[in-house]
Chain A
Amino acid sequence: MKKSFVILFVGMAVIAAITITVTAQSGAKPVPRLANGKPDFTGVWDHPRVGDVAADVAGTCAGETPGCSNKGAGPLPFTPLGKTENERKDKFDYGARCLPWGYVRSYGTPYPHAYVHHPDRLAIMWEQDTRYHMVPTDGRKLPANLEPSWMGKSIGHWEGDTLVIETSGFNGRTWLDTAQHPHSDQLRLTERISRPEYGKINYEISIEDPKYYAKPMKNSRVFVLMAQGQELFEYSCNENNRCEDGKCTPSDVQK
């Protein structure tokens, strides 16, 4: 009995020593934690450029950091109404008029985003259009009758070390992506965000819109922490938006 206890104790000590050595050698930084013990997502994150939620992306991130990816939804399960909307010939990209890109499309933009994390809320800041979005995680519920909005209304809760964000209350005026896939005002999103490593975020989004899509669609993405010192830039879309609605405004040197 005593001998087996000694063997067990020595075995555990050896495993602990190996673990400490491996961790020290790899130089892996631990995932930072919030005051409530949950993972802290604060940082400037590069995400994959997702121009089409149906398609996979692998390799370089939107801000040209290596390592981003997206596992796309595959062929989209349109309802008859959704198919009609998707095939409309008179679509015009509202983004060209500097209107908000919308929640899903913002996460696929050609520019990075940042998180500022607090135990009671997650602030999301997209470089595209200098747009922000707040996700309360203080236990409140979504109001029953949401005012329709471009970016929707979110609440979040933790399941272990994964932050689960539910968002609804959309005005239906944005697209899911630059491939012009539509969504209705019935859009409901469920995101699952975790930080398994210091420099990596796993991001999963489930897109439900029974009006336009017969079943939920999923994207699984990897975000990469940008290099130390990288920050978001200002992006003022109206500053010099010279070509709009198929017409370009001449510059003074062209008059």
Chain B
Amino acid sequence: MIRKWLALVVLSLMAATAAYAHHSFAAEFDGTKPVKVVGKVVKVEWANPHIWLYIDGKDEISGRTAVWGFSGGAPATLTRRGINRDFLKTGDVVTMQGFLAKDGSPNASGGSVTFPNGRSVFTNSPEDKVPGK
């Protein structure tokens, strides 16, 4: 019970932070609905205002299978962090975490990419944190 309550508090705080963090987060994504998709990379859109990563896989939280779109940071933010357009390739198997789009489509504001060897890359703005990271 206490753990559930704590989880709710943490999620609410995350949502509040995210609402302030991003110019469109509050309008487009639901900070109370985390997703965690394991699957294969099918496409990378390295473009402004946000990169988008597409993963064909299953959301471990809802059980939904789809080609999921994950919005990340701007190419400039990631390039300054040493992450370039080749960091993910089609066919790579990854775990992506983020928050579900408000329109219910299989899209999310993405935060972290975890590779099978455990290496994790944070692909969003520093302020757009994801639970568990």
* Chain A bound to chain B: yes
User: Are the C-beta atoms of B26 and A93 separated by less than 8 Å?
Assistant: yes
Q: Is A19 an interface residue (CB 8 A)?
A: no
Closest 7 CB pairs of A and B: A96-B24, A233-B76, A95-B23, A240-B47, A243-B28, A248-B107, A239-B48
Tell whether, in the assembled complex, residue A178 and residue B54 are in contact, meaning their CB atoms are under 8 Å apart. Answer: no
Given A234-B48, A239-B48, check contact A96 B28 (CB 8 Å): yes
Nearest chain A CB to B14 CB, angstrom units? 15
**Chain A residue at minimal CB-CB distance from B102:** A246
Question: When the two chains form their complex, are residues A111 and B76 in contact, meaning their CB atoms are under 8 A apart?
Answer: yes
Alpha-carbon distance A242/B106, docked complex (angstroms) = 13
Whether the pair B49, A250 counts as a contact (CB closer than 8 A) is no
Q: How far is the CB of B110 from chain A (nearest CB, A)?
A: 12
Q: Cβ of B43 and Cβ of A98 under 8 Å apart? A: no
Residue of B nearest to A235 (CB): B48
CB-CB under 8 A for A253 and B54, given A64-B126, A93-B23, A179-B20: yes
Q: Which residues of A contact B103 (CB under 8 A)?
A: 246-248
Q: Does A156 contact B (CB under 8 A)?
A: no
Q: Tally the A-B contacts, defined by beta carbons under 8 Å.
A: 108
Per a CB cutoff under 8 Å, which of A234, A235, A241, A254 touches B69? A254
- What is the size, in residues, of chain A's interface with B at 8 Å between Cβ atoms? 39
- A22-63: which residues lie under 8 A (CB-CB) from chain B? 49, 51-52, 60, 63
**Which listed residue (A92, A234, A240, A245) contacts B50, Cβ 8 A?**
A240
Question: 1/0 per position for A111-146, CB-CB distance to B under 8 A?
Answer: 100000000000000010000000000000000000
Q: Is the interface of A mostly helix, strand, loop or mixed?
A: loop
Is B112 part of the binding interface, using a Cβ–Cβ cutoff of 8 Å?
A: no
Taking the complex as formed, is A21 at the interface, i.e. its CB lies under 8 A from any CB of chain B? Answer: no
A182 to chain B, nearest CB (A): 15
B interface bracket (residues with beta carbon within 8 Å of A)? 35 or more
Q: Could you list 14 examples of A-B contacts with CB < 8 Å?
A: A64-B80, A92-B27, A95-B23, A110-B127, A111-B76, A178-B21, A235-B74, A237-B48, A240-B48, A242-B69, A246-B102, A248-B101, A252-B43, A254-B69
Interface of B is mostly: mixed
| Chain A residue with the shortest CB-CB distance to B49 | A237
Q: How far is the CA of A92 from the CA of B77 in the complex (A)?
A: 25
**A222-252 near B? 1/0 per residue, CB < 8 Å:** 0000000010111111011111111110111
Could you say which of B21, B42, B45, B80 has the most chain A C-beta atoms within 10 Å of its C-beta?
Answer: B80
Most chain A CB inside 10 Å of its own CB: which residue of B23, B45, B125, B127: B23
Contact with B along A204-228 (1 / 0, CB 8 A): 0000000000000000000000000
**Cβ-based interface call for B123 (8 A):** no
Interface residues of A in 163-193 (CB under 8 A from B): 178-179
**In the bound complex, do residue A98 and residue B28 qualify as a contact, i.e. CB atoms below 8 Å apart?**
no
Option from B22, B26, B42, B105 in Cβ contact (under 8 Å) with A248: B105
B79 interface residue (CB < 8 Å to A) = yes
Cβ-based interface call for B71 (8 A): yes
What residues of chain B lie closer than 8 Å to A245, measured between beta carbons? 27
A52:B20 contact, CB within 8 angstroms:
yes
Please determine whether B80 and A236 come into contact, CB atoms closer than 8 angstroms.
no
